[in-house]
Structure 1
Amino acid sequence: MTDELPPSTVPQSTNLALMNFPEDQEFIQKFSDEMTGAIVACGRFLDLERLAGVTVGYDFDAALASVDLGYESAIARQYTNNSDVVAVAKAMNVRRDGKVMSHVVYNANVIDALVDPAHEHHLDALHIIAHEFGHVAELKWRDEAMPGLLLTRPEGEWVDVTLLLTILTAWEEYAACRMTGMIGDREALKHRYAQEFDRAAGYSLARAQEQIKQYRTHGDVDRLLVEAGEPIAMPLKMAGYLLGHLDAIEATDALEELCPAYAKSHLVTLIPALRAALRTVWDERDAGKGLAIFDALKALMIQAYAAAGIELTPLSEGEGYYANVPFTAETMPNGEADMIVARLRQQLGLD
């Protein structure tokens, strides 16, 4: 039967490490066998030529810390961990013999159901495993399509680079989900991704406006772009998961029906444009466009800032952006009371 399957793309040198597992040799052996099988199987439908290694640990932080990056970095081992999202796996960029590779780390607490096909979270474990390997395949494509981009800072002005790197997370999740959406419970995943996107769409504007209120006091534009950028970008990243999954399973659900908070949000015109741009990158990913393939996505990031109340206008090439943050009741520390004062000052010619 296996003779009919395509060969696995997993390198022979790829190693599997298990950390902080319970002292149960039977379980360890079974998990090791099942995980090895999952890695090999994923390599049959994903290009995992850049997979350097896999670590699974019950202490996620310790597992991340155990990986040899091959370079110095203060942020490579960081992961999302807040009241909204907690990462359970991470595909880490590493350098091996001068080549950018990926070492995938999993939190064993969320994938140990792999050993029991009858477990309620067995399909979740399979999907989480496959999803991270989708990032490995995307890494290879991006490194070959844009040589020298990974592990280096792209050329350009600070805001330009930040906009690009921020919106790239939406593409990365879209690509990984589109490649692996058939693994797991498709309907359950659809509703889970929809719920996570809907939650982010629901809080995005209010949190961004709160950061603008803080800006009225501190006046630091760079700080504003970073601190408001997180809630502005989060629904775009979460949309990447959902849109990639929907396209993978060829679902025709209306986003407004799946995501009621989104349907009432400031994102109702932006997300369809994001979907079109992500699909274009997917369709044209082998067209040799280099970094320019992400230009439309970067433009959408600028639109997302504007929708939240931060207008970014490009200056002369290489000179950055002019940031305009219009006064509105929603973005003033004292709301409408501050707006009354602002309008009065304008009438008196004081501003």
Structure 2
Amino acid sequence: MDATVEEEQAPERPSTRPQNVPMCFRGFEQEAAEAHASTLGWLLHEIGKIIDISTLDGMTIAFDYDDALANLDRGYETIRTLAKTTEFGTGVAMTPAVLRDGILKSHIVISAGIALMLKDEDHQNVKLAIHTVAHECAHAKITAAYDKSFPGETLRKFHDTVMESWRWDVIKACWDEYAACRIASDFGHDPLPGYEETFVLAHSQTDEKVMQLIRDFNGGGADPLVGPVFGAYGTMMKFACYMMGSMAAAGKTLVDCESAQNALNGHWFAPYFDRLKNACEDLYENFGNWPDKSGFEAIGDIVEDIVTDRIMKLWHHPDGTYTIYIYPHVLLRAKA
């Protein structure tokens, strides 16, 4: 007798999306807000099956994205105002850390255009929107992992020196984007071509940007020069990390990224690129199980080495202050 055997279906993977995630729609009509809330709620539920978003505080979707960022309640007092990226592209989403009753969480803020794209007839736009939301969810996971390894620090402990603050601005930007690109790689469209293009653009303009900072420096306190120089090189490193994370997720190397490979070939940044790649890979291999911060500090060492190798000598003093000496050849180049 023939027998029919029903395949046993695997149980559905549970979602890590918190119950009743608050969603704030700024500039939407009520009916449109409800429709988009349903779509985004479903998307977060599905993403939450793959990415741990259990520490998600909520989501703000705004037509005035700038105002939404600037006025986000982060649960603590800060002089820093959140603002979108405008250099080498315009930011449309961000996931800042927030404090709620002393608990560290993450809040996604996205431009209304991303929500509208989820209902677009163009399939590529839908895939881009899905990937954008997944990328932001990845940031929630990254923030939670760091907080688990180093509790009580994020938003609750301030850096002892301004130099340490500059280093950690670069460290966090590079690591967070590298990891987010790897974590969100399976959602929506392939971001690697766009990230490669942006890195090549940033790479081509950074040297001149630093020279302009030197030209504009008129002495006095060194902070107005040193901080922006760290920031300029850090921005290039950050965009390198977007590309690196996407490359690693796709199992690709620089050989597969011809424009980036050509830009780095024989360029002074090439060895630093390799160091940055290795540092991020090591951190990712031990994701969430970091015994100390040495892996993160390795990224800070890279940006500081770039500054000291190429622009100026830095002397760190026991009281947290520092002294600089700009190399004569740098001053000559800036004046040329």
Task: Compute the TM-score of the two structures, normalised by the length of structure 1.
Answer: 0.85
Contact 1:174 1:241 in 2 (8 A): yes
The verdict on how the C-alpha distance between 1:114 and 1:68 changes in structure 2, with shifts beyond 3 A counting, is same
Quote the residue 1:218 is aligned against: 219
2:51 alignment counterpart: 46
| Contact 1:50–1:140 (Cα < 8 Å) also in 2 | yes
- Give the match's secondary structure for 1:305: helix
* Alignment match, 2:129: 125
Q: Are residues 54 and 3 of structure 1, via their aligned partners in 2, closer, same or farther at CA, if it must alter by over 3 Å?
A: farther
* Alpha-carbon separation, structure 1, partners of 2:313 and 2:258: 30
- State the match for 1:292 in structure 2: 294
How far apart are 1:292 and its partner, in Å?
Answer: 2.9
1:219-239 deviations in Å (ceiling 9; x for gaps): 432111122222211110101
Q: In the aligned structure 1, how far is the partner of 2:158 from the partner of 2:76?
A: 17
Please give the residue correspondences for 1:170-209 in structure 2 after superposition, counting only pairs within 5 Å: 170-186=174-190, 189-209=191-211
Residue deviations 1:108-151 (CA, integer Å, cap 9, x gap): 11341112364431111011111011110001001111112111
Q: Distance in 2 between matches of 1:151 and 1:24?
A: 34
Per-residue deviation at 1:305? 1.2
Structure 1, gaps ≥5 residues long: 336-351
Give the Cα–Cα distance (whole angstroms) in 2 for the partners of residues 24 and 100 of structure 1: 30
The amino acid that maps onto 1:99 is I
* Residue identity matched to 2:66: D
Q: Which amino acid counterpart does residue 18 of structure 2 have in structure 1?
A: P
Unaligned residue ranges in structure 2 (runs of 5+)? 1-7
**TM-superposed deviation, 1:274:** 0.2
Distance in 2 of aligned mates of 1:323 and 1:156: 19
- Equivalences for 1:314-333 in 2 at 5 Å? 314-315=316-317, 317=318, 319-328=320-329, 331=332
CA distance in 2, matches of 1:14, 1:24: 18
Return the letter of the residue paired with 1:114: L
Give the match for residue 11 of structure 2.
4
Q: 2 CA distance for matches of 1:241 and 1:235?
A: 10
SS of 2:94 mapped into structure 1: strand
User: Structure 2: how far apart are the matches of 1:325 and 1:252?
Assistant: 36
What is the CA distance between 1:307 and its match in structure 2?
Answer: 4.4
The answer to whether residue 23 in structure 2 is matched with residue 16 in structure 1 is yes
Pair 1:110-2:111 in alignment: no
| Cα offset, 1:251, TM superposition | 1.6
Provide closer, same or farther for how the CA distance between residues 42 and 117 of structure 1 changes in structure 2, counting only shifts above 3 A.
farther
Pair 55,168 (structure 1): closer, same or farther in 2 beyond 3 Å? same
| Greater Cα offset, 199-208 or 65-74 | 65-74
Structure 1 contact 201–265 (Cα < 8 Å) conserved: no
Q: 2:170 aligns with which of 141, 166, 170?
A: 166
Aligned to 1:237: 238
Q: Deviations over 1:255-314 (max 9, x none)?
A: 772313343543111101100001111112344423333121111111221344123344
Give the distance between the partners of 2:70 and 2:331, measured in 1 at CA: 42
- Residue from 87, 91, 98 that aligns with 1:94: 98
Which has the higher mean CA deviation after the structures are superposed, 148-157 or 137-146?
Answer: 148-157
CA displacement 1:2-33 (0-9 Å, x = unmatched): 97332111111421222212x483x5444222
Task: Report the equivalent of 2:265.
Answer: 263
Give me the whole-angstrom Cα distance separating, in 2, the residues matched to 1:308 and 1:205. Answer: 10
Q: In structure 2, what residue type is equivalent to 1:301?
A: V
1:32 is matched by which residue type in structure 2? A
The answer (yes or no) to whether the contact 2:134–2:187 under 8 Å persists in 1 is yes
- Aligned-pair CA distance for 1:166: 2.1
What is the distance in 2 between the residues matched to 1:66 and 1:3? 44
Query: Given that residues 221 and 323 in structure 1 are in contact (C-alpha distance below 8 angstroms), is that contact kept between their aligned partners in structure 2?
Result: yes
What is the Cα-based RMSD across aligned positions, in Å? Answer: 2.5
